[in-house]
Amino acid sequence: MGQIPLIKLLPPKNLYIYLVGLYMFKRYQNPKVLYLFYKHIIKGERVLLIDDNITISGLFK
């Protein structure tokens, strides 16, 4: 995934999304949130998100 610049991680919402993604990855082995965080917030790409898991889709609203 590469290194995450600290300036992108400082806003509270970004930090919250990253920590929830890290928790979900460690707990459920689900890397979706971390992948979407990296693609959308760090790289600035637009990502179409359609997921049946309300936790994942609710983080990026």
- pLDDT tens for residues 1-56? 567 777 877 888 888 888 888 888 888 877 877 777 887 777 777 777 666 667 77
Tell me if 49 is assigned to some domain.
Answer: yes
Tell me if 33 is assigned to some domain.
Answer: yes
- Domain range spanning residue 39? 7-59
For residues 30-59, one letter each, b for 16 or more C-beta atoms within 10 angstroms of the residue's C-beta and e for the rest, the string is eebbbebbbeebbeeeeeeeeeeeeebeeb
Tell me if 46 is assigned to some domain.
Answer: yes
Tell me if 1 is assigned to some domain.
Answer: no
0.95 surpassed by pTM: no
What is the per-residue pLDDT for 14? 82
